[in-house]
Amino acid sequence: MLATSAGEWVHCGRVFSATEIAELCATVAWLPGLARKELAATVCEHLGWTTLTGTAKISACLDFLERLQAAGLLVLPALRPSPPRRCAPPSASAAPVAPVAEPAVHCALSALAPVSLAVVRDATRVAQWDALVARWHPLGFQGAFGYRLRYFIKAGERRLGCVLLSGAARAVAVRDQWIGWTAQARRENVARVVNNSRFLIFPHVRVPHLASHVLGQLARRARADWLEHWGFEPLLLETFVDPRHYAGTCYRAAGWQLLGASSGRGLARPGQSYHSTPRQVWVKALTSDACAALCAAPGSPRS
């Protein structure tokens, strides 16, 4: 379980290339606010490090991260004290949170109260958000880890949908060519690209132009919200649209740019293959110099 002479490392039977080690160290440097377990889950997702059943190898990853820290290659977040265990009160229920019933909304956008995005932080509302997206989004939802920010789309107190921002895809050929960054710049700056990984208007809401209106708001406030929540500003939004089911019209109307299609090959791993349907790749720059900034050597990751 030592580092190899070629800069590779072996842990739990897996060989990590020098490039993967560099990307792993860059990921850790960009996520100083996460607990170690969340950090390990994020690394497992980026590296595709899972069991045969698809479960992230979090314990193995934690051990590997500690090895890399001992070798002086990275610095892990400080261990957090475990909170005292408390017994659940007799009235507490372990049953899943039921989606909140919402009335039908069929009207013009101008007929609604001002539409807004509300950041979801309260644990009860997070559970409601998760249940609604799991029920109605075509991709479902099994939870989020790493950097993420949930929103409810609201008109007054009425909920119209949900939005999730999360960590960017590690490598996308058409996006990376458009940005023009080197592999090193991508490893160091990819955290400043944020993925609109879930966008849901509830099926009982039929309001023309609502989706593009919400996406416009999202682009205007994403930097400030991310800075407040995570301590640094993103520079670029990205999303992936399945052209078999959607045309991406709302993204185009909101000023996003279609770059092309993903390869559909997923992450290449020795002895493994992963294929999916190619997706449209859309991006929205949040600053006028987003590409130049993403290509530059980073300053403080929390600047």
254-267 pLDDT tens trace: 999 999 998 766 54
Give residue 51's pLDDT.
61
Residues of the chain with pLDDT under 70: 1-6, 13, 51-54, 81-102, 264-276, 298-303
**Which residues have C-beta within 8 Å of that of residue 152, sequence separation ≥ 6?**
117, 118, 120, 125, 129, 159, 161, 162
> From the CB of residue 39, how many other CB atoms can be counted at a distance below 10 Å?
23
Contact between 86 and 93 (Cβ < 8 Å): no
Give residue 3's pLDDT.
47
Which CATH number describes the domain made up of 105-295? 3.40.630.30
Q: How far apart are CA 58 and CA 39, in angstroms?
A: 9
DSSP state of 216: H
- CA geometry: angle at 196 spanning 193 and 198, to 5°? 150
Give residue 302's pLDDT.
39
DSSP state of 285: E
Instruction: Return the structure tokens found at 244.
Output: 């078999």
3-state secondary structure of 303: coil
**Which residues have C-beta within 8 Å of that of residue 9, sequence separation ≥ 6?**
2, 3, 15, 16, 21, 64, 67, 68
Give residue 227's pLDDT.
94
234-287 pLDDT tens trace: 999 999 999 888 889 999 999 999 999 987 665 444 455 545 688 999 999 999
Phi first, then psi: give them for residue 281, nearest 5 degrees: -110, 115
Instruction: Return the structure tokens found at 283.
Output: 């991006």
